[in-house]
Structure 1
Amino acid sequence: MQMMEQPLFGRRVKELRRARGLSQAALAGDELSTGYLSRLESGARQPTERVIAYVAERLGVDRRVFEAPSSGTALARALSIASSTDGDEAVEGLLSALGTPDGGDPLLRWRALWLVARRWRKLGNTAEELACLEELDRLADSLGLPELRCRARSSLARCLRSTGETGRAIDVAGRAVRLAREAGLALPDTAAALMALVSAEAEEGRLPEARAHVDELVGLVGGCGGTTLRAEALWSAATVRFRQGHQEAARDHIERAIQGLDSRADVTLWARLRLAAASLYLQSRPPLTGPAAARLKEAASALGYVGTPLLNQELLTLTAHLAFEEARFADARAHLDELRRGEMWLTHRDRLRAGVLDGRLLIVEGYEKEGRRHLEALGEEARRAYGVDLSAGEQTRRVPGAAGNAGT
């Protein structure tokens, strides 16, 4: 077995020890002296096979985490390139290297898959992202590092929720939260796990559980003013409160998230928060079209620079909803037609909402029978997926600006 050469071995031991909050004496135990461990961590001593096995056992990891990758492998080269660029060609290089015979090094493979999954998420390619995250979850278990296991499960749960697999998402996110608590992981990992759990519970309609977990989340990150972590926690709280029917509290939380985040910290999140606020305003009763239009205008300005296929489709869908609420039905139809011209990137729930809008438009356009049949089919699909009638509110409310028409 080729072991990590010094000083890389020592750096890795020190990194893992500190991540677990262990002193050198605690890690050394009865078998090593702290002086010897200190020299190992500094790279002054070469570890023996027995020492490597002992240290791995004390840290609770697989000894493969100390294996030294050859800098000449195709995967190592692809990783070096991908780490310094954000282009599609970097992802293609990683995918190619992952399929080579030397693409099996567990730590290198983890890093590569993590970068690829992040890229697929940014592009909105949920199917490819899910495949990467499934392998990351299995790989993290084999490596035995709680940080990697928690991150893989949090990301996997979020992705599963977006595809409509909310039951499995809750199970995976719940395991991530338990792992974070038991291992005493850092705040970002614990918060990410809680956010994944909250979003899945809210999607499934388990609102009391989601409320309890989101209150815990907001309490954990309350002192992180101006950070992306706090903004995302407030966004999660806004979602839960809105689904509980507390519209004013939801608007307060999303606006606090918006006001507390500088675009320079994360321009993509800055834009996503505005899309979320616009969605919340349009779903309010009555719809708040003025604030929604203002937030969509702000989001559009940022997406001109950082837009992805998914975010651009979210903007287009919300613009169609806004047009409908303002009784600009021809504009709403044009936006929906544009949405359908390319590959669909929206989440399952957002696709259902776009379908509901289509049904309402059909009724406005004089195709009442077709529109109602379309809405009934969507209602059944929503009941199967989420256990709730997603379109019920839409089916009973009057069509704005269409006096005399039956509500959708």
Structure 2
Amino acid sequence: MDSTAEAGEGTGRRLRELRRARGLKQQDLASDDVSVSYISLIESGKRTPSAAVVALLAERLGCSTGYLLTGQDGARTRELELKAAFADLSLHSGAHGEALQAFSEVLASAPVLPEATVRRARLGQALALEQLGRLEAAVQALTGLYEDPECVAGSAEWSQLATALCRCHQALGDQVLSVEIGERALRRLDQLGLEATDDHIRLGAVLVDCYRTRGDLAKARLVADRLIRFADDRGGRTAQLETYWNAALVAQSQGQIGEALALAERARALLAESDHVRQHALLSGVHGTLLLCSDPGDPERAHQLLERSHTQLVEVGTVDEQASAQTALALASLRRDRVAEAQQHASKALGLLRGEPRRESVEARTVLAQAQSAAGESEQAQETLRAAAQQLRQLPPARSSAAVWRRIGDTWQQFGDAAEATAAYQQALNDAGLPGLFPSTDRAGAY
């Protein structure tokens, strides 16, 4: 094949790829001067278009004539790479909607971009989808990148993808798959014998949280202790922050509130110089919740931290994070004897969650029931608590559910209903993997 034919074939291929990327049909490019059949011949490499036809097609496709002829468009490429850089900044600052739009615009011009820029934009798009709560779409995008042969095991991109997939599956409630992805990734890193990097440590930190959510606190503690050693020895600020943060959550789940507070303080100290608003917000929420749980506790300081967390999450947080912040504020209001405020916060949390059967909804209803009881609305409080229990029964049994059943049982006990409390405690034991020796025939509380 001579050079002219090769050039024509390359022009035709680029024309076809760019047209499809723009979502256009051949007739959309046709005009009085260029017929549909002629465009088809160009795309198949059977005709080499004149300079005038190339200019016309480039205008309709929104690219340069240089790109159609040679595949190179330096000015356009630089413009798109700058847009991708600004999208990264938007994602970092919490402007997830802006980031998603910018990454999508970059990907619409993928044929004119280097493969590295395209992959960077695809990863950014997936992370923006995750932060916007569009988890199924995020998982689909992340999985495609993670399973791509171009994704090298042990690389920074590979670690980021594994970490994000763990988070997304955890948020979707698939604790088995989230842990499986994290464990498999860490095993692969051990096989490769690579020195631990910040990205590897952050992957481990997310796996710690997956273990905690699943209720496997022993494994969570073992991995957390190992990661703290790595993070202290060779980890950067972000890796140390996420390690201490998740270790604090594990200590809290184990009832070691003093240790959890100490770890949270270390995380806050590392975060002090950061401009990452969402991380500030989430960690303030963790710290505030720990202060509520501590003995003797500091409800006023806890409320300040939780209020700050909520204000920031309204701007940069996901719907779930905003709802959890409202529930925490409701609990803080109860501790400060501000019953009406507690009801308002808990109701707002449920409004954000749209009443779906999720652990967050159950927790919000449980706090709402406590507030209603404190307001003297006894019948409504019991109805709310029964609704919480009914929702919790729709969720898969797990150790994390056991903790919520325990809170429901404690609330029934506060109401003076021993039968309902006992039924909730029994369900907590079952979900924790400690069923009774004999099946219970007493279905008190319709649990």
Instruction: Answer yes or no: is the 8 Å Cα contact 2:292–2:302 preserved in 1.
Output: yes
Larger relative contact order, structure 1 or 2 (CA cutoff 8 Å, min sep 6): 1
Paired residue type of 1:171: E
Unaligned stretches of 5+ in structure 2? 1-5, 7-69, 422-447
Instruction: Answer yes or no: is the 8 Å Cα contact 2:365–2:385 preserved in 1.
Output: no
Rate the CA distance shift 1:80–1:351 in 2: closer, same or farther, 3 A: farther
Paired residue type of 2:284: R
Q: Distance in 1 between matches of 2:293 and 2:403?
A: 12
Q: Distance in 1 between matches of 2:273 and 2:73?
A: 37
Matching residue of 2:404: 391
- How far did residue 281 of structure 1 move? 3.0
Paired residue type of 2:140: A
Rate the CA distance shift 1:288–1:185 in 2: closer, same or farther, 3 A: same
Map residues 249-398 of structure 1 onto 2, 5 A cutoff: 249-284=259-294, 288-299=298-309, 309=319, 311-342=321-352, 348-364=358-374, 365-366=377-378, 367-384=380-397, 386=399, 388-398=401-411
Instruction: Answer yes or no: is the 8 Å Cα contact 2:197–2:235 preserved in 1.
Output: no
Residues 1:245 and 2:247 are matched in the alignment: no
Paired residue type of 2:397: R
Q: Distance in 2 between matches of 1:171 and 1:225?
A: 24
Matching residue of 2:21: none
Matching residue of 2:424: none
Q: Distance in 1 between matches of 2:406 and 2:296?
A: 12
Q: Distance in 2 between matches of 1:129 and 1:155?
A: 9
Rate the CA distance shift 1:226–1:203 in 2: closer, same or farther, 3 A: same
Cα deviations by residue, 1:310-348 (Å, 9 ceiling, x for unpaired):
544443232122113333222122123333445769995
Residues 1:188 and 2:192 are matched in the alignment: no
Instruction: Answer yes or no: is the 8 Å Cα contact 1:194–1:217 preserved in 2.
Output: yes
- How far did residue 372 of structure 1 move? 3.6
Matching residue of 1:120: 129
Q: Distance in 1 between matches of 2:249 and 2:330?
A: 21
Instruction: Answer yes or no: is the 8 Å Cα contact 2:182–2:203 preserved in 1.
Output: yes
Paired residue type of 1:292: A
Instruction: Answer yes or no: is the 8 Å Cα contact 1:238–1:249 preserved in 2.
Output: yes
Map residues 69-84 of structure 1 onto 2, 5 A cutoff: 71=73, 78-84=80-86
* 2:402 aligned counterpart, secondary structure: coil
Rate the CA distance shift 1:137–1:285 in 2: closer, same or farther, 3 A: farther
Cα deviations by residue, 1:184-225 (Å, 9 ceiling, x for unpaired):
154212201211211111111111111110000000011468
Q: Distance in 2 between matches of 1:290 and 1:395?
A: 25
* 2:271 aligned counterpart, secondary structure: coil
Paired residue type of 1:216: R
Q: Distance in 1 between matches of 2:272 and 2:198?
A: 19
Q: Distance in 2 between matches of 1:347 and 1:82?
A: 38
* 1:264 aligned counterpart, secondary structure: coil
Cα deviations by residue, 1:65-109 (Å, 9 ceiling, x for unpaired):
xxx985579998655413124263552253356467839975444
Q: Distance in 2 between matches of 1:156 and 1:356?
A: 30
Q: Distance in 1 between matches of 2:188 and 2:304?
A: 41
Matching residue of 1:92: 101
- Which range moved further: 282-291 or 145-154? 282-291
After TM superposition, the score normalised by the length of structure 2 is: 0.64
Paired residue type of 1:157: C
Paired residue type of 1:396: G
Identify the match of residue 173 of structure 2 among 143, 158, 164: 164
Q: Distance in 1 between matches of 2:349 and 2:296?
A: 26
Q: Distance in 2 between matches of 1:93 and 1:126?
A: 19
Q: Distance in 1 between matches of 2:387 and 2:117?
A: 49
Rate the CA distance shift 1:90–1:199 in 2: closer, same or farther, 3 A: closer
Rate the CA distance shift 1:300–1:371 in 2: closer, same or farther, 3 A: closer
Q: Distance in 1 between matches of 2:169 and 2:204?
A: 15
* 1:391 aligned counterpart, secondary structure: helix
Paired residue type of 1:324: L
Structure (1/2) with the larger helix percentage:
2
Residues 1:131 and 2:140 are matched in the alignment: yes
Rate the CA distance shift 1:388–1:268 in 2: closer, same or farther, 3 A: closer
Rate the CA distance shift 1:369–1:297 in 2: closer, same or farther, 3 A: closer
Matching residue of 1:154: 163
Paired residue type of 2:402: D
After TM superposition, the score normalised by the length of structure 1 is: 0.70
Rate the CA distance shift 1:225–1:75 in 2: closer, same or farther, 3 A: closer
Instruction: Answer yes or no: is the 8 Å Cα contact 2:334–2:342 preserved in 1.
Output: yes
Instruction: Answer yes or no: is the 8 Å Cα contact 1:180–1:189 preserved in 2.
Output: no
The structure that has the greater radius of gyration is 2
Instruction: Answer yes or no: is the 8 Å Cα contact 2:350–2:364 preserved in 1.
Output: no
Rate the CA distance shift 1:232–1:345 in 2: closer, same or farther, 3 A: farther
Kindly, what percent of the aligned residue pairs are identical?
21
Instruction: Answer yes or no: is the 8 Å Cα contact 2:343–2:372 preserved in 1.
Output: no
Instruction: Answer yes or no: is the 8 Å Cα contact 2:169–2:175 preserved in 1.
Output: yes
Map residues 190-229 of structure 1 onto 2, 5 A cutoff: 190-223=200-233, 227-229=237-239
Q: Distance in 2 between matches of 1:182 and 1:350?
A: 38
CA RMSD of aligned residues (A): 3.9
Matching residue of 1:9: none
Matching residue of 2:240: 230
Instruction: Answer yes or no: is the 8 Å Cα contact 1:272–1:299 preserved in 2.
Output: yes
Give the paired residue count: 341
